[in-house]
Amino acid sequence: MDTAVFVTMLVTLIVVAAIVFTLPSLMPRTVPLGVNVPAARIEEPVIRASLRRFRLLVGASGLVAVILLVVLVFIAPLAAALVSMLLFIAGSTVAYIVARQGIVRAKHEGDWYSGATVRLAGDVTAEPVRTPIPVGWFAVSMLLLGLVTVIGAAVYPTLPASIPVHWSASGVADRYEPKSVWAVFGQLIIIAIVVIGLFALSFVGRVVSIRALPSASAEQNAARERGIRSVMSSLLGWMMFAITLGLCWLTLVSWFLPSDRVLITVGVVVLLVMLFGGIVVFIVRWRRAARRGAAITGGDTGADAPDDDRFWKAGIFYVNRDDPAIMVPRRFGAGWTMNLGHPVGIAIGVVLLMVVVGALVLAFTAGTSR
Amino acid sequence: MQIEIDPASEIPLYQQLRDRVVEGIAAGRLRSGDKLAPVRTLAGQFGINVATVVKGYDLLRVEGLARSNRTAGSVIARGPLGDRADGVSSVESRWDAAARAGWIARLRTVLAEGVAQGESDGDLENIARDILSTFAAERKGS
């Protein structure tokens, strides 16, 4: 087990734990842990206590996962990474379920919504807000790919007869293939597919409906909607660029200096920093956009959004047959989720599930075959 | 123009939607020729059934307050006195006589409620005048 790989796994675990730990403070205060509460109740002690319990349990499972990773890493590195991450996911799921249950119970027992004025808000003259498409990032990524392809074509005759196509976890080339178009350009083709996939994904934003807040003005609601949409597009754009830059670098290294471990490590580290950095910036910007307008909910002024907990199974899965929206913003976490009460939403859910299961099966078979 | 509807109210949502639009026209916040948001967009913002919004828009269309435009969807078709894009001068030629009679019947009921509750005729007139001057003031402001 290489130190660099161990550090990467450790950093990944810590970054993920930190993100989950801070998630509750990203949401508007009227949906603590995905539970709808009226603005007049956001200071309830039970909410604070539940959030504290969530953070405590997430922190504890993060700590246990890190210890497990450190202990197991010298015995079974692959199992260490897998077990510690799974343990953290299980731990934070329990934390979420246990902590939010406290708020749900207090809300029902105290009948928090009786007496609250609830309204649905909408703009009858609004032009539909278009989700921006990250065309610029896509163009830059494609340009970079084109450039590297041209370089590859130029040096193709001078490349050795045997090309490294796989590296061990520690950055040493461990599998070679005879020189062919696929062996040389295969990775670029895969990058292109990923980038085009992300670009296509950004169009999903077009079918997302974003609720207007009754406590905010039409201008604030429009600004909030534009903000949320552009933050999501920026994330996808940045991901395209980061993946292209990082993997093009690794491709160039594999052509010219395939045995230079330093250059490979630099490429991997830069790629991870760009991906994690992009996610952190995204979360900070999402928080600002999602809380815009929601922040002015003072309690006595303005109405509350109606209690729609019944549409949010466990605060995570949205099921509303009446809602024409195919996708909506998540209530706990950042980004979009599908409406499982809509036929197209169900179809998207099934495809996502198949992709996740497929990826897991692939990862598992790849892991055991080695 | 942002509106709010009450999902807990006994008044159906489509009726509330129609009522808010009518008030918007009276207050000059919606003018003749203004485009109404596409039904799916509005239903998505509220998170309600598309059919509910369609029903509200249909009501406005039947009343002649909105019309369908092939390129722009639904547009506001009428406005208060002095805000006429259609050039028609008299109310009678625009407002269907039967519909107007229906409105007078509703107004009659509303006034009867006030009288039955013991409001004086003078107070009722003042209240009506106040409401009308609020509309007029908002029209001037917008």
CB A87 within 8 A of CB A65: yes
Q: Does A338 touch chain B (CB under 8 A)?
A: no
Q: Does A303 touch chain B (CB under 8 A)?
A: yes
Q: Strand, helix or coil at A301?
A: coil
A9-53 pLDDT, tens digit each: 888 899 999 999 998 888 888 889 999 999 888 889 999 999 999
A348, pLDDT greater than 50: yes
Q: Does A320 touch chain B (CB under 8 A)?
A: yes
Highest mean pLDDT among A258-262, A289-293, A361-365, B117-121: B117-121
Q: Which amino acid is present at A173?
A: A
A369, pLDDT greater than 70: no
Query: Exposed, middle or buried by CB within 10 Å (0-12, 13-18, 19+), for A291?
Result: middle
User: What are B105-108's contacts with CB under 8 Å, separation 24+?
Assistant: none
Cβ distance of B41 and A218 shorter than 8 Å: no
From B2, B47, B49, residue closest to A123, measured CB to CB: B2
From B4, B20, B38, residue closest to A303, measured CB to CB: B4
From B24, B45, B50, residue closest to A212, measured CB to CB: B45
The ipTM, to two decimals, is 0.85
Q: What are the residues whose beta carbons fall under 8 Å from the beta carbon of A301, sequence distance 6 or more?
A: A215
Q: Strand, helix or coil at A235?
A: helix
Q: What are the residues whose beta carbons fall under 8 Å from the beta carbon of A143, sequence distance 6 or more?
A: none
Gyration radius of chain B's alpha carbons: 16
- Residue A213 is predicted with a pLDDT of 85
- Element (DSSP H or E) covering residue A230: helix A218-256
User: Residues for chain A: how many in total?
Assistant: 370
Q: Does B118 touch chain A (CB under 8 A)?
A: no
Cα A291–Cα A294–Cα A295 angle in degrees, nearest 5: 80
Q: Find the helix packing angle between A261-291 and A3-22, rounded to 10°.
A: 0
- Residue A299 is predicted with a pLDDT of 41
Distance CA A317, CA A37 (A): 18
Query: Cα B1 to the chain's mean position, in Å?
Result: 13
Cα A319–Cα A322–Cα A325 angle in degrees, nearest 5: 70
Q: Tokens in use for A96?
A: 């979420």
- Identify the CA nearest to A238 among candidates A160, A136, A332: A136
Cβ distance of A209 and B47 shorter than 8 Å: yes
Distance CA B44, CA A129 (A): 12
- Identify the CA nearest to A243 among candidates A204, A283, A198: A198
A94-134 pLDDT, tens digit each: 999 999 999 999 999 999 998 888 899 999 987 778 889 99
Q: Does A72 touch chain B (CB under 8 A)?
A: no
Evaluate the CA torsion angle A164, A169, A172, A174 in order and state its sign.
Answer: negative
Q: Strand, helix or coil at A257?
A: coil
pTM summary value? 0.84
Q: Strand, helix or coil at A312?
A: strand
* DSSP-assigned beta bridge partners for residue A312: A318
Residues in chain B predicted with pLDDT less than 50, given as ranges, are: none
Distance CA B37, CA B33 (A): 13
Q: Which amino acid is present at B25?
A: I
